[in-house]
């Protein structure tokens, strides 16, 4: 399945000689939507880091006097079935989301890129075998993988990260491989080989840096997907477990059960998920447009 | 071309075999087996000999390689065996659920395509205007909104505004189409929104690419009607990648709607997946995984063939 047009640049755009500040300024001016996305992402990361400072309550303290309280001055977004403040849990939930999002996107895209580039570099039999193994993982249903990981290792953040990262690897490898195939034929790779460098050095130091554009594009795209997947898995009870604050988890159980009486429990965590993923996608899209010369607006 | 098709078909075999090995051993690595689970409630009967007797009945006492070979030989004759939990043939178990999943997938696809193509085309034509921005924001939001949450919001809305809930029991379409639609239209909308977002983005970028081709410029230079250029020249050529994502998305929907089915209490394939793994129903889970993997591989293959067939510039070795 190698004939479909790749969604990313075949050859990365070489960053200009100007300072990065000027580049950031240009990015904001040319792509206002992307800049807004980046700002929301930055705000989200800040919230995740400083949740313990800005959150009005403790995320775990239950208050049975204020169960299912509607939004008010005391509880801006209301409370849940245990009387825990919804706003606080959303703020703390961004920690889970950001942690899972960045970890999965980083590991998934990086491991995938290394495998893809190596596969393209070695070519021949190695390439064929690696592609078949990747095909197996692509065809394997994600939810079964997650179910199996959770059943074997139990719920918990590191296992969720694993369950989400594994299916990302073959997808990243596919993209990285198609970019690396073009690079493999370039003279500098031949030169490195002629200079007698080891395979590992050629792959990691010479080829990998040159698939940076598709790598960055994948990274930003996977961030949002990982956050969505984490929410789905947690909602199913296969992800992060109580009492950890996580957006998907907040939608589970009581939120659906008491949806009519306390709709704020079901609405706000979902909005938080949407906003976070929306911002990542907005930023990622603009980044892709900026890095991919083929799609540049004329 | 015939050579290519044969090659691709042959390449399916190792992939499917790999999936089979993976799921077979994965299921057996998961702690607890079906016998333990079934007897868990009745500790008095859960003596070792009873457990062993039940395992022997299900064939779980034989060596792993023998179990695997038996299973594989069955699959080659298209015999998937019986469910370990219910004892009824797996084909029957899956048929019931697949009908619902299939209908839902078809409905979501219709919603997605009806939304995506006009939106994508308009956005491409008016690139970088406010129309384009609106469409892009609408579609990026579609990608960002979890379908299951959208489902919860739909149910909430119906409940609070109309004091009405969609029917909880599944009615087949041929029994009562109206009742069937009342139930399935909501999950189809919830899933269709995300789906349409994927297709809209593809339509837009494919149109943008096609509109820059020389033959479009030629058509314009000839003074051809804008409408005719769009429908005959541009849209026709831009449809290929759109068709591809729609097909792949459809393959995913057949087994991947686990969470949405949960929210709407639908007994589809996704629900069956979760149940069968929870019960350690090895035979059923294995059959389901093989089915989903096969659909995925087959759709991929069909998409590639479609490219070759519809785009004469693509040639296969």
Q: What is the pLDDT of residues A111-125, one digit of tens each?
A: 999 999 999 888 889
* Per-residue pLDDT at B135: 92
* Per-residue pLDDT at B55: 73
Cβ <8 Å between B19 and A133: no
Mean pLDDT of chain A: 82
Taking only residues 150 to 169 of chain B, the set having a beta carbon closer than 8 angstroms to any beta carbon of chain A reads 150, 152-153, 155-156, 159-160
pLDDT, average across residues B88-95:
83
Residue length of chain B: 317
* Per-residue pLDDT at A7: 44
Chain B CB contacts of A1 below 8 Å:
300-301, 303-304
Cβ <8 Å between B152 and A255: yes
Of A69-78, B36-45, B61-70, B224-233, minimum mean pLDDT range: B36-45
Residue with tokens 């769009």: B230
Is the pLDDT confidence value at A19 over 90? no
Chain A CB contacts of B292 below 8 Å:
139, 141
pLDDT, average across residues B7-19:
88
* Per-residue pLDDT at A105: 93
Task: Give the bridge partners for B82, in sequence order.
Answer: B89
Chain A CB contacts of B285 below 8 Å:
144
Q: Which of A267, A275, A282 sits opposite B153 (nearest CB)?
A: A267
A62 φ, ψ (degrees, to nearest 5): -95, 150
More confident residue, B42 or B272: B272
- Chain B CB within 8 Å of residue A151 CB: yes
Complex ipTM value: 0.85
B32 φ, ψ (degrees, to nearest 5): 80, 140
Is the pLDDT confidence value at B124 over 60? yes
CA distances from residue A190 to A119, B256, B261 in whole angstroms, order as listed? 16, 44, 53
* Per-residue pLDDT at A294: 54
Q: Which of B16, B30, B146 sits opposite A228 (nearest CB)?
A: B146
Is the pLDDT confidence value at B40 over 70? no
Distance from CA of A16 to the nearest CA of B (A): 24
Confidence of residue B235 (pLDDT cuts 50, 70, 90): confident
Distance from CA of B295 to the nearest CA of A (A): 9
Is the pLDDT confidence value at A290 over 60? yes
- Chain B CB within 8 Å of residue A111 CB: no
* CB atoms inside a 10 Å sphere around CB B267: 15
pLDDT, average across residues B252-279:
84
- Chain B CB within 8 Å of residue A132 CB: yes
Burial group, residue A27, by CB count within 10 angstroms (0-12, 13-18, 19+): middle
Helix, strand, or coil (residue B96): helix
Task: Give the bridge partners for B89, in sequence order.
Answer: B82
Chain B CB contacts of A251 below 8 Å:
148-149, 152
- Chain A CB within 8 Å of residue B312 CB: no
Is the pLDDT confidence value at A296 over 80? no
Q: Which of B19, B301, B307 sits opposite A136 (nearest CB)?
A: B19
Confidence of residue B279 (pLDDT cuts 50, 70, 90): confident
Task: Give the bridge partners for A79, in sequence order.
Answer: A85
Confidence of residue A1 (pLDDT cuts 50, 70, 90): very low
pLDDT tens string A242-275:
788 888 888 887 777 777 777 888 889 999 999 9
Cα B175 → chain centroid: 25
Chain A CB contacts of B12 below 8 Å:
none
Count how many pairs of residues, chain A against chain B, have C-beta atoms within 8 Å.
Answer: 154
Cα B3 → chain centroid: 29
Taking only residues 12 to 41 of chain A, the set having a beta carbon closer than 8 angstroms to any beta carbon of chain B reads 33
- Chain A CB within 8 Å of residue B205 CB: yes
Is the pLDDT confidence value at B281 over 90? no
Cβ <8 Å between A133 and B244: no
pLDDT tens string B92-108:
888 888 888 888 999 99
Of A56-60, B157-161, B267-271, minimum mean pLDDT range: A56-60
Q: Give the best residue of A132, A136, A247, A286 to mutate against chain B (max B CB count within 10 A).
A: A136
pLDDT tens string B167-207:
777 777 777 888 888 888 999 999 999 999 999 988 998 88
- Chain A CB within 8 Å of residue B307 CB: yes
Could you tell me the two tokens for B30? 């998961």
Confidence of residue A4 (pLDDT cuts 50, 70, 90): very low
Distance from CA of B289 to the nearest CA of A (A): 7
Phi and psi based region of residue B59 (left: phi greater than 0; alpha: psi -120 to 50; beta: remaining):
left
Q: Give the best residue of B138, B149, B150 to mutate against chain A (max A CB count within 10 A).
A: B149
* Per-residue pLDDT at A99: 92
* Per-residue pLDDT at A12: 44
pLDDT, average across residues B115-133:
90
Q: Which of A135, A235, A298 sits opposite B15 (nearest CB)?
A: A135
Report field, pTM of the whole predicted structure over 0.90? no
Confidence of residue B314 (pLDDT cuts 50, 70, 90): low
pLDDT above 90: percentage of residues in chain B = 15
CA distances from residue B45 to B33, B34, B222 in whole angstroms, order as listed? 16, 15, 85
Cβ <8 Å between B143 and A144: no
pLDDT, average across residues A32-57:
87
User: Which residue intervals of chain B are DSSP H helices?
Assistant: 2-29, 34-39, 48-58, 64-76, 90-125, 130-144, 147-161, 177-211, 214-221, 226-228, 236-256, 258-264, 269-278, 282-310
Contact A84/A67 with Cβ under 8 angstroms?
no
* Per-residue pLDDT at A3: 45
Is the pLDDT confidence value at B316 over 70? no
Chain B CB contacts of A133 below 8 Å:
18
Cβ <8 Å between B144 and A224: yes
More confident residue, B83 or B143: B143
Of A4-8, A79-83, A102-106, A210-214, minimum mean pLDDT range: A4-8
pLDDT tens string A52-94:
888 888 887 777 777 777 888 777 788 887 778 888 889 998 9
Of A67-81, A186-200, B182-196, B287-301, minimum mean pLDDT range: A67-81
* Per-residue pLDDT at A22: 84
Chain A CB contacts of B213 below 8 Å:
none
């Amino acid at each position: 399945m190698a004939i479909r047009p790749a969604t990313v640049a075949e050859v990365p755009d070489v960053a200009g000689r100007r300072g990065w500040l000027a580049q950031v300024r240009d990015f904001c001016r040319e792509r206002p939507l992307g800049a807004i996305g980046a700002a929301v992402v930055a705000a989200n990361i800040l919230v995740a880091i400083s949740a313990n400072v800005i959150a009005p309550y403790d995320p775990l303290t239950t208050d049975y006097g204020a169960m299912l309280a509607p939004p008010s001055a005391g509880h801006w977004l209301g409370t849940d079935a245990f009387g825990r403040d919804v706003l606080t849990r959303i703020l703390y939930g961004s920690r889970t989301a950001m942690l899972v999002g960045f970890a999965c996107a980083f590991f998934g895209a990086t491991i995938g890129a290394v495998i893809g580039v190596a596969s393209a570099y070695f070519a021949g039999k190695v390439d064929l075998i690696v592609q078949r193994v990747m095909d197996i993982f692509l065809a394997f249903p994600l939810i079964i993988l997650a179910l199996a990981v959770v059943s074997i290792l139990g719920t918990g953040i590191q296992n969720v990260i694993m369950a989400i990262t594994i299916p990302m690897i073959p997808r990243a490898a596919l993209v990285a491989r198609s970019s690396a195939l073009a690079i493999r034929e370039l003279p500098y790779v031949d030169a490195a080989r002629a200079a007698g460098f080891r395979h590992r050095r050629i792959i990691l130091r010479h080829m990998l840096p040159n698939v940076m554009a598709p790598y960055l594009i994948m990274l930003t795209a996977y961030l949002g997907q990982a956050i969505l997947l984490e929410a789905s898995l947690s909602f199913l009870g296969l992800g992060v477990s109580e009492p950890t604050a996580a957006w998907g988890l907040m939608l589970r159980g009581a939120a659906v059960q008491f949806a009519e009486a306390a709709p704020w429990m079901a609405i706000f965590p979902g909005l938080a998920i949407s906003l976070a993923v929306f911002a990542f996608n907005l930023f990622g899209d603009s980044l892709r447009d900026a890095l991919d010369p083929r799609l540049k607006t004329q | 071309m015939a050579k290519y098709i044969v090659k691709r078909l042959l390449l399916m075999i190792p992939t499917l075999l790999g999936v089979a090995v993976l799921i077979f051993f994965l299921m057996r690595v998961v702690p607890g087996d079906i016998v333990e689970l079934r007897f868990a409630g009745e500790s008095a009967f859960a003596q070792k000999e009873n457990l062993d007797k039940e395992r022997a009945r299900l064939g779980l006492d034989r060596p792993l390689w023998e179990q695997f070979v038996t299973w594989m030989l069955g699959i080659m004759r298209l015999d998937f065996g019986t469910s370990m939990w219910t004892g009824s043939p797996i084909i029957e178990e899956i048929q019931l659920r697949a009908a619902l999943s299939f209908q839902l997938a078809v409905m979501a696809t219709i919603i997605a395509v009806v939304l995506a193509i006009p939106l994508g085309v308009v956005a491409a034509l008016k690139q970088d205007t406010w129309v384009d921005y609106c469409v892009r924001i609408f579609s990026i939001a579609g990608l960002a909104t979890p379908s299951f949450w959208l489902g919860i919001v739909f149910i909430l809305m119906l409940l609070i505004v109309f004091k009405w809930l969609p029917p909880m029991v599944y009615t087949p379409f041929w029994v009562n189409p109206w009742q069937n639609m009342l139930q399935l239209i909501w999950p189809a909308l919830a899933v269709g929104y995300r789906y349409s977002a994927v297709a809209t983005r593809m339509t837009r970028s494919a149109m943008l690419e096609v509109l820059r081709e020389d033959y479009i410029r030629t058509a314009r230079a000839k003074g051809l009607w804008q409408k005719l250029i769009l429908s005959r020249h541009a849209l026709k050529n831009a449809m290929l990648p759109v068709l591809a994502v729609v097909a792949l998305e459809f393959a995913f929907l057949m087994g991947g709607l686990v969470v949405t089915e949960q929210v709407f209490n639908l007994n589809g394939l996704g629900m069956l997946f979760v149940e069968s793994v929870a019960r350690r129903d090895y035979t059923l889970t294995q059959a389901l995984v093989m089915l989903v993997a096969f659909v995925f591989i087959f759709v991929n293959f069909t998409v590639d063939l479609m490219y070759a067939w519809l785009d004469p510039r693509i040639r296969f070795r």
